[in-house]
Amino acid sequence: MEHWEDFLTNASTADMWTANGYIKNPVGDAGKPRIPSLKANKTDKSAKVDTNAEKASLLATVFFPKKPERQASPTLSAQIKRVTMDPDLNWKAQETAAVSKAHKWVTLFKRLARTTGGLNGTLMRQLYRSVGLPKLTYAADLWYEPPHIKPNNKKRSGSVRVLGQLQRIQRMAAIAITGALKSTAGDVLDIHANLIPIEIYMESLRRRAYIRICTLPTNHILNRTVQIAYMNKDIIKMQLSPIQQMVSAYRDIDPDRVEKIGHSKRPVYFKPVYLTETAPTRQASITAEKEDKARFKIYTDGSGINGQVGAAATLYEGNQQEPTAIRHYHLGPTTKYTTYDAEWIGLLLAVWLITTVLEQGRIGISNISVYVDNQSVIKTLDNTRPGPAQHITDAFQTIAESTRTKGPRIKKFDIKWISAHSEVARNERVDEEAKAAAAGSTSPEDNLPEKLQQPLPYSKSALVQAAKAEAKQKWKEKWQKSDRRPRLEEIDEEFPCKTYMRVCRLLPRHQASRLIQLRTGHIPLNDYLHKRKLAQTNKCKKCRSGQRETLQHFLFECPAYRKQRVIMDRAHKDARHNLKSILKDVRYTTAVLQYIDQTGRLPKKYHQPER
């Protein structure tokens, strides 16, 4: 073995190549052997290896990795970030996986809706919206394309098949939330469960995903992608990427006009030139403002009125009754900007007043207080993380930092919270000025900071709120066309049925289930079951009068429940025997549900018969 060790120690590159060549093309052993003789241990015996081919094979076995026992075989799909990719990038595999996962979840979800001891509808709805829908719609902006009809085509294109599956899944969830029977119409289930129809929800979700992509900073890889797609939106292509599809669908949103929200945040060691103060209560904020002895006070406010947004700031010195300076700025419509943006603009105008109107020698010497009636703005000042209105925040910090070298004190001004509508004269005055700004009043450009001398980018929050409002309006228009709307509006004109959900929150699960069955008319009595071939007869088996067991007969006519009906009629007073009037009033509805429990006709736990 020592010869073998010497060979390995002194072997050159050429020797190793020669040994490797013996494996590929074994040669004879004539001539001088290049590799010394070896001993190979096989089981319990040792064997001497003399031929070059055997020596080379042994060398490869010992010093080179063995051939794997399992061979990797190609697959038709791969999962990246929980998104299943397929060779054709048609997202069929991801659609199947998403629907399968959602179906399994809804099956488990239904177990929580037992009529005896199950969760109430409000909790079930919250669970579905917070857990079920995110599971169902994960990465939907990639794999879901709203169904549409292309020019010169009759059939719908897009995610037609998967949409039908999503509708069935939401229907199962709505039945579990409300406790209705399976035959109840889907639009009636949605309005009672306060669930936006899934096709409208998916469209809104996709629009919000596009808005989120538009807010990516300029150094993000997708920022340039979405800009190019928007510039080429009118070019006809056979196959569009998901981003190109969204750009084509939402042409009213220009990525360059949407605010950018970066990922960087201020360093933890950053020390601002201001201090923030938030009073614990409304009255405490009013008292603190009254006791404030600061020489200069600035009041800011943002207002949204009549669909428009504006901001204002007023500067007071000493005990003056009228402001020394006023600044206005009109942002635009509420579909593009929020009152939160306006509050930030008000604060930006305040720091601009400090640096332009006040005598510069007083900064860092005299006390300056800035009053804001929005606590979210003050919390954002203390929070270093980026978020909505970040571009306004950066402009505010830039102007505030310009005062750092002025005056001997590090702190230049205080930012304090004061309750809105606090009957403080100066705060009420700035509220009026903000409303004037919302109506269209704007100060001359020379009196505004550079940030406000150019159009402001659209607010992400406003665009998202507009998308949600548009989705709700589409839902309302769809419900207006429903054949079932007139019947439901006879007992409840509210859209959606939020009062009904509040009532159900106070009822036991089985009574909440009975309530929607009364409202929809889908209730397991013999007349209803017989029409669906789930009962042998439609007659009432309790009174044996040959009458059909309808809801009217069960509640108001059947003599078998005369004693229970007397108690119910006493509670209903003038509305007795009028189901529409009874279901309109919560007090009367409770008496009906108690009547159903007392008769024992409908068990708490109902199992639908097999056909």
Phi-psi region of 277 (alpha: psi -120 to 50; beta: other; left: phi over 0): beta
Tokens of 426: 């100066």
Q: What is the pLDDT of residue 448?
A: 94
Where is average pLDDT lowest: 18-22, 215-219, 223-227, 494-498? 18-22
Q: What is the pLDDT of residue 384?
A: 75
Location of each CATH 3.30.420.10 domain in the chain:
274-456
Q: What is the pLDDT of residue 19?
A: 61
Where is average pLDDT lowest: 81-90, 216-225, 443-452? 81-90
Long-range contacts (CB closer than 8 Å, 24 or more residues apart) made by 443-447:
443/326, 443/327, 443/328, 443/329, 447/327, 447/356
Tell me the DSSP string of 72-135.
----S-EEETTEEE-TT---HHHHHHHHHHHHHHHHHHGGGG-TTTPPPHHHHHHHIIIIIHHH
In this predicted structure, the answer to whether residue 344 has a pLDDT above a threshold of 60 is yes
- 3-class DSSP assignment, residue 149: strand
Residue 155's H or E segment, with its range, is none
Residue 267: pLDDT band (50, 70, 90) is: confident
Q: What is the pLDDT of residue 32?
A: 47
Tokens of 388: 């909505």
Distance separating alpha carbons of residues 263 and 542, to the nearest angstrom:
70
Q: Residue 334: how many CB atoms within 10 A of its CB?
A: 21
Distance separating alpha carbons of residues 259 and 257, to the nearest angstrom:
7
Where is average pLDDT lowest: 197-206, 353-362, 531-540, 599-608? 599-608
For the CA atoms of 193, 198, 203, 207, what is the dihedral angle to 10 degrees?
50
Where is average pLDDT lowest: 30-34, 134-138, 173-177, 543-547? 30-34
Summarised one tens digit per residue, pLDDT across range 243-256 is 999 999 999 999 99
Where is average pLDDT lowest: 1-5, 156-160, 381-385, 432-436? 1-5
Where is average pLDDT lowest: 11-20, 148-157, 253-262, 513-522? 11-20
Q: Residue 80: how many CB atoms within 10 A of its CB?
A: 7
129 in Cβ contact with 72 (< 8 Å) = no
End-to-end CA distance of the chain: 84
Summarised one tens digit per residue, pLDDT across range 117-165 is 788 889 999 999 999 999 889 999 889 999 988 878 888 888 899 999 9
Q: What is the pLDDT of residue 49?
A: 64
Q: What is the pLDDT of residue 381?
A: 87
Tokens of 226: 């979405």
Tell me the DSSP string of 526-547.
HHHHHHTTSSS--B-TTT-SS-
Q: Residue 491: how many CB atoms within 10 A of its CB?
A: 18
Q: Residue 63: how many CB atoms within 10 A of its CB?
A: 10
224 in Cβ contact with 162 (< 8 Å) = no
Distance separating alpha carbons of residues 309 and 343, to the nearest angstrom:
10
Q: What is the pLDDT of residue 1?
A: 46
Task: Kindly state the average pLDDT of the residues 514-525.
Answer: 91
Distance separating alpha carbons of residues 22 and 28, to the nearest angstrom:
10
Distances (CA, A) of 147 to 24, 158, 340, 441, 547: 60, 4, 36, 44, 48
In this predicted structure, the answer to whether residue 94 has a pLDDT above a threshold of 70 is yes
CB-neighbour burial class of residue 487 (10 A; exposed 0-12, middle 13-18, buried 19+): middle
In this predicted structure, the answer to whether residue 557 has a pLDDT above a threshold of 80 is yes
Task: Kindly state the average pLDDT of the residues 262-279.
Answer: 84
Summarised one tens digit per residue, pLDDT across range 43-69 is 555 666 667 667 666 666 665 556 667
For the entire predicted model, the pTM comes to 0.82
Distance separating alpha carbons of residues 259 and 29, to the nearest angstrom:
79
Instruction: Tell me which residue of 311, 309, 312 sits closest to 326, measured CA to CA.
Output: 312
Distance separating alpha carbons of residues 232 and 175, to the nearest angstrom:
45
342 in Cβ contact with 331 (< 8 Å) = yes
The size of the chain, in residues, is: 611
Phi-psi region of 43 (alpha: psi -120 to 50; beta: other; left: phi over 0): left
DSSP 458: B
Where is average pLDDT lowest: 113-122, 174-183, 520-529? 113-122
CATH number given to 274-456:
3.30.420.10
Where is average pLDDT lowest: 5-14, 263-272, 377-386, 517-526? 5-14
Who wins on pLDDT, 61 or 581? 581
Residue 89: pLDDT band (50, 70, 90) is: confident
Where is average pLDDT lowest: 178-187, 359-368, 436-445? 359-368
* Backbone dihedral angles phi then psi of residue 593, each to the nearest 5 degrees: -65, -40
Chain-wide mean pLDDT for the chain? 86
> What number of CA atoms fall less than 13 Å from residue 78's CA on the CB side?
7
Summarised one tens digit per residue, pLDDT across range 284-293 is 999 999 999 9
Q: What is the pLDDT of residue 155?
A: 87
Where is average pLDDT lowest: 55-59, 103-107, 494-498, 525-529? 55-59
Helices (H), 25-91: 52-63
Long-range contacts (CB closer than 8 Å, 24 or more residues apart) made by 142-150:
142/83, 142/91, 142/94, 142/242, 143/83, 143/91, 143/94, 143/95, 143/98, 144/95, 144/202, 144/206, 145/242, 145/245, 146/199, 146/202, 146/203, 146/206, 146/249, 147/199
Tokens of 83: 């998104």
